[in-house]
């Protein structure tokens, strides 16, 4: 293992001329954080913090506007620095940080503009899901987002994006109208159906390979109250619940989305979360079938504002450490269910397994080559495997459990991987994410980033000249 690097002012001065750093700091409208600064240790953290994501960048630039992004690109290229682009910081592999490089943090770029007449939203790359949803809800509208309120909308969209409304209205990237980007040569460009159409195709699922997004424009939909909430069942019923969930969702209408999680709460429970944005009576009749199958020990399903599905972060102390892995499941076979339950039974405390994004409806009506996001097979799911702990000594066992569980479930993935749940690096993993779209992505990568400057992502290799 590489020895941990110790930073101080003299180290930084020896590597990059102090005058260059001072000039860079002065030109930024945002904030430059260096290793000697009090904020450094907090600023370098990412969402999933563990020994593999504990990185030490040379500097962290919190950008305030698009010009700051361009200045960061110029500085990094001039000084041969690796660059890690961060918005919400939820990359499973910690791509929002790096050793010895520059973190380009766009999380402060939070402008939001809603056009209720056109039903569109313009949002800065630092906006997270609950912020955009709350802004749109003021007008009785909603964007197509994921299922986590604190995920950055930029990374979510660039990886494809699936969520509560995707059955009815498609993937997040299907509802992107345009994006503003800074290229690797510091130009500001627009990607849309009318401008840089090849780039627009690529950024809808192809990750941050082609430029740094500074703002995005989305289509919005009228959404007010939805029927939503959670059914909770005893852990010993997990097999029956998951099998019924599978059959239930096969016949589900576009409007309904439901996800399942094996949770460590109360020594283990099964939670099924429902969202139905259509007619409330129809939704209640539908969800009653689940109640009839088995009465939950807890039932919070009721009409509620859709914005409640994206609450602001609660005031709580997060765990000191966490790790997460993701697996694509093309069919929820009995064998996969049994394996997940068996692994959960052997988990250290603080571990959970979730079955997300049941793929159906409008997502599947979009051709797999219409965007870079290709995984549109009806009935597929995306699984996450998470472990959290507070004692540093628990890291080895917690991370080993997550890795082993992921490896055991990989045979049910059909060799594929969801770009937003990337849990392995290298060309084979990227091919697993993009399938038949990979060759076209390489062509776009070669055009917009021939030197592979942007490589801390679902990295598509440019074509060698």
Burial string for 442-459 (b: 16+ CB within 10 Å, else e) reads bebbbebbeeebbbbbbb
Token pair 């969801």 is found at: 418
Question: Per CATH, which fold does 112-223 belong to?
Answer: 3.30.465
What pLDDT does residue 3 have? 38
What pLDDT was estimated at residue 314?
Answer: 81
Render pLDDT for 324-356 as a digit per residue (tens, 0 to 9).
999 999 999 999 999 999 999 999 999 999 999
pLDDT band at 265 (very low <50, low <70, confident <90, very high): confident
What pLDDT sits at residue 315? Answer: 66
> Using 50, 70 and 90 to split pLDDT, how confident is the model at 121?
very high
Q: Under a CB-based contact definition with an 8 Å cutoff, are residues 422 and 326 in contact?
A: yes
Q: Return the number of other C-beta atoms located less than 10 Å from residue 407's C-beta.
A: 11
Mean pLDDT along residues 269-281: 97
**CATH 3.40.50.300 given to domain 225-421:** no
pLDDT at site 393: 96
SS (H, E, C) the chain: CCCCCCCCHHHHHHHCCHHHHHHHHHHCCCEEECCCCCCHHHHCCCCCCCCCCCCCCCEEEECCCHHHHHHHHHHHHHCCCCEEEECCCCCCCCCCCCCCCEEEECCCCCCEEEECCCCEEEEECCCEHHHHHHHHHCCCEEECCCCCCCCEHHHHHHCCCCCCCHHHHCCCHHHEEEEEEECCCCCEEEEECCCCHHHHHHHCCCCCCCCEEEEEEEEEEECCEEEEEEEEEEHHHHHHHHHHHHHHHHCCCCCCEEEEEEECHHHCEEEEEEEECCCHHHHHHHHHHHHHHCCCCEECCEEEEHHHHCCCCCCCCCCCEEEEEEEEECCCCHHHHHHHHHHHHCCCCCEEEEEECCCCHHHHHCCCCCCCCCCCCCCCEEEEEEEEECCHHHHHHHHHHHHHHHHHHHHHCCCCCCHHHCCCCCHHHHHHHHHHHHHHHHHHHHHHCCCCCCCCCCCCCCCCC
Lowest-confidence region among 12-16, 268-272, 336-340, 456-460: 12-16
Residue 1 predicted with pLDDT over 80 = no
How far is Cα 252 from Cα 266, in angstroms, rounded to an integer?
A: 30
Mean pLDDT over residues 166-184, rounded?
98
- What is the band of 382 on the pLDDT scale with cuts at 50, 70, 90? very high
Entry pTM: 0.95
pLDDT tens figures, 9-52: 444 544 788 999 999 999 999 999 999 999 999 999 999 999 99
List, in order, residues 6 or more apart from 465 with CB less than 8 Å away.
450
Number of Cβ within 10 Å of residue 370's Cβ equals: 15
Q: What whole-number distance in Å separates Cα of residue 145 and Cα of residue 90? A: 15
- pLDDT per residue as tens digits for the range 225-262: 999 999 999 999 999 999 999 999 999 999 999 999 99
Going from N- to C-terminal start, the domains of the chain cover 15-40+55-105, 112-223, 225-421
| Angstrom distance (rounded) from CA 132 to CA 150 | 11
Check: CB of residue 96 under 8 Å from CB of residue 1. Answer: no
Q: How far apart are CA 288 and CA 271, in angstroms?
A: 16
Q: Across the strands, what pairs with 326?
A: 384
The mean pLDDT of the chain is: 95
Q: What is the number of alpha carbons within 13 Å of residue 255 lying toward its C-beta?
A: 15
Give the pLDDT band (50/70/90) at residue 4: very low
CA end-to-end span of the chain, whole Å? 34
pLDDT for the residue numbered 161: 98
> Is CATH 3.40.1390.10 the classification given to domain 15-40+55-105?
no
334 phi-psi bin (left φ>0, alpha ψ -120 to 50, beta other): alpha
- Per-residue pLDDT at 7: 46
Q: How far apart are CA 282 and CA 289, in angstroms?
A: 12
């Amino acid at each position: 293992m590489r020895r941990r690097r110790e930073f101080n002012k003299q180290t930084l001065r020896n590597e990059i001329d102090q005058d260059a750093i001072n000039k860079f700091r002065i030109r930024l409208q945002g904030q430059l954080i260096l290793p000697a600064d009090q904020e450094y240790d907090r600023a370098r953290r990412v969402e999933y913090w563990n020994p593999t994501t504990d990185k030490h960048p040379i500097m962290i630039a919190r950008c305030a506007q698009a010009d700051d992004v361009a200045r960061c690109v110029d500085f990094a290229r001039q000084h041969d620095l690796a660059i890690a682009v961060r918005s919400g910081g939820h990359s499973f592999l910690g791509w929002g940080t790096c050793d010895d490089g520059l973190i380009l943090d766009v999380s402060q770029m939070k402008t939001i503009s809603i056009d209720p007449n056109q039903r569109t939203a313009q949002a800065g790359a630092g906006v997270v899901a609950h912020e955009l949803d709350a802004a749109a809800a003021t007008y009785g509208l909603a964007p197509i987002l994921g299922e986590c309120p604190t995920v950055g909308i930029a990374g979510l969209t660039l990886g494809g994006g699936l969520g509560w409304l995707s059955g009815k209205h498609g993937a997040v990237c299907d509802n992107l109208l345009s994006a503003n980007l800074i290229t690797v040569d510091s130009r500001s460009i627009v990607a849309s159906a009318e401008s840089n159409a090849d780039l627009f195709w690529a950024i809808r699922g192809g990750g941050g390979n082609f430029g740094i997004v500074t703002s995005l424009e989305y289509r919005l939909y009228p959404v007010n109250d939805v029927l939503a909430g959670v059914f909770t069942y005893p852990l010993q019923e997990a097999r029956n619940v998951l099998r019924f969930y599978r059959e239930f969702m096969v016949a589900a209408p576009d409007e309904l989305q439901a996800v399942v999680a094996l949770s460590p709460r109360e020594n283990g429970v099964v939670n099924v979360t429902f969202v139905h944005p259509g007619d409330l009576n129809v939704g209640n009749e539908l969800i009653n079938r689940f109640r009839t199958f088995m009465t939950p020990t807890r039932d919070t399903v009721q009409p509620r504002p859709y914005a409640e599905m994206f609450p602001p972060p609660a005031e709580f102390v997060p765990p000191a450490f966490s790790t997460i892995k993701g697996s694509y499941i093309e069919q929820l076979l009995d064998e996969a269910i049994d394996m997940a339950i068996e692994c959960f039974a052997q988990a250290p405390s603080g571990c959970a397994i979730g079955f997300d994004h049941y793929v159906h409806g409008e997502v599947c009506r979009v051709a797999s080559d219409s965007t870079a996001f290709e995984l549109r097979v009806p009935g597929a799911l995306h699984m996450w495997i998470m472990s959290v702990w507070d004692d540093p000594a628990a890291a080895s066992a917690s991370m080993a459990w997550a890795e082993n569980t992921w490896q055991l479930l990989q045979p049910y993935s059909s060799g594929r991987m969801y770009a937003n749940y990337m849990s392995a690096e290298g060309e084979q993993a990227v091919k697993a994410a993009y399938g038949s779209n990979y060759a076209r992505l390489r062509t776009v990568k070669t055009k917009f980033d021939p030197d592979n400057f942007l490589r801390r992502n679902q990295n598509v290799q440019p074509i060698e000249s």
